[in-house]
Amino acid sequence: MPPGRCVPRAAPFCADMAEIAVVDPGARIVDRWEGWGCSLSWWAVCSAHWPESARAEACRRLFSRTSDALGLSICRYNAGGTAPTADPAPYRPGGRVLAMLDRDGSWRPERDAAQISCLRLARRSGANRFELFVNSPPWWMLRSGSTRGGDGGGENLEPGHERDYAEWLAETAARLECEADVRFGSVAPFNEPSAWWWNGATSGQEGCRVSWPAQARVVRHLNEALRRRGVRAVAACSDENGAHEAYNTLDWLTRPEGGALRAHAIGRLNVHAYHGWEWQERLRDLSAARGVPAVWMSEVTYREWGEPAYVPNDMRCALPVSRSIVGDVRRLGCRGWVYWQPVEPLSFSLTYRYTYGFLQAAVDVGVPWGGRIYGPGDCVVARSFHVMMQFSRFVLPGFRVVRSGDDWTLAAHSPSGDRLVLVAHHDGEGPRELRYDLRRFARAGETAAAWRTQNDDASGAWACRAIPALPVRGGTLEVTLPPRSVTTYRIDDMRLTPEMSVDAGQK
């Protein structure tokens, strides 16, 4: 903080006004958290215009465990299907992702060198779970010949190419594992395949509508193709836009009279979280009933609340992220939560007056903003970056997510059970009094370390800032959440009861 300034004293806690949240370590929402993540498209393709140092810095800020980084562990690589001769004009920046595996079997990784570089940098920085995903099959397998979509938004995968597409996916994954020295844990062959907006005449990005019967055939062939090549990845699908579409798709794919996919043919359910949140619990239950081993929330992005504006330093661009995280994890029981595009073009943000992404970077030319010129790869760090940090730096892979007793608090404890993390989202205009009841643990630590992200004020910057620790008295933690804030509380020296121990009830 600036010299001579002090942190203002918090308003006194008012017990009569406090809401009570009973944290229950025996009520597990997620048995083993797998991680937080992001996708490389389309920003990593755009990084072809950046200095190597800028590309390395962006990957460091996203994937490393240094104090100013997010420490994301999941990285999704976008294998493109676009022809090298395709006109770049209709595609958004970075959206023209070229196929590296040609129809004749030749391998051309130089066509996607920048994204491959980011994949390597992500691994070196600390990412350890990798997924290959595809927005459209390669152009020569499509009815329209365009990876931006079918005629009129119709189905675009040419009938009879389902096996060819599965073989192309498996071979691309195998080649890329060698090229980038990574191991893919999953391959996701579809992206919002039920959507109507994949129209070759109007879309600015890769996308393909794929019918349910065609999806079932691709998944069946994909599992076989991966096994033959020794790629230890599962098929993840179907990455529908929202939980309602995902429910209908999964239901059909796994019904005997539908796609008749057997248990574990779908190694993980991937679903986006743009809408249909009221269906998330039903989707979770269906997934478990049909034998799907895991769920990821694999894509979402949000712009600022309120009037359109580029407000990177304002909580208006950050609170939609924390609200989504707490709700998605609680309702879906997902093991991973993956943000879509963490780095957005700064020129887009200024032109269209929105705040997408954790970082905004100039793509290929200098962009003036805030009294300076941002060169290619120079990034603005948005407040949403530091809200994401409240989750990704404290709820770590291997943790168990448990019932917090509060709709807007995410609770998790470490694998040994000796550390409890509470991340509280509060988007109200006034303070909120909350009392966490920790007495369902055998023992609670005496203090709670705390960090907070909110709008800056006279006391200085509030970017995941450490604040004074709070006492835990009689198994109770009493907190006051400021308006429009996200706060993390970490309590060490916790103890589980024997029936709630890490080994008890292990699946």
Give the pair of three-digit tokens for residue 497: 């009861």
Please give the helix or strand (H or E) that residue 51 lies within, else none: none
Q: How far is CA 241 from CA 33, 159, 213, 232, 421, in A?
A: 23, 24, 19, 27, 30
Contact predicate 390/453, CB 8 Å: yes
Residues 6+ apart with CB under 8 A from 187: 131, 132, 133, 169, 170, 173, 222, 226, 231, 233, 234, 235, 236
Q: What is the 3-state secondary structure (H, E, C) of 128-155?
A: CEEEEECCCCCHHHECCCCCCCEHHHCE
Give the model's pLDDT for residue 16: 59
d(CA 127, CA 53): 19
Quick one: residue 257, left, alpha or beta (phi over 0 = left, psi -120 to 50 = alpha)? alpha
Give the model's pLDDT for residue 17: 64
Give the model's pLDDT for residue 501: 65
Contact predicate 119/180, CB 8 Å: yes
Pairing of strands 74-78, 295-299: unpaired
With H, G, I as helix, E, B as strand and everything else as coil, classify residue 213.
helix
> What residue ranges of the chain have pLDDT lower than 70?
1-17, 500-507
pTM over 0.85? The answer is yes
d(CA 356, CA 153): 26
d(CA 286, CA 246): 10
Cis before 238 (ω within 30): yes
Give the model's pLDDT for residue 156: 97
The radius of gyration of the chain's CA atoms, rounded to the nearest angstrom, is 23
d(CA 335, CA 126): 18
Give the model's pLDDT for residue 263: 83
Q: Which amino acid is at 497?
A: T
Give the model's pLDDT for residue 498: 79
Give the model's pLDDT for residue 7: 35
Give the model's pLDDT for residue 5: 34
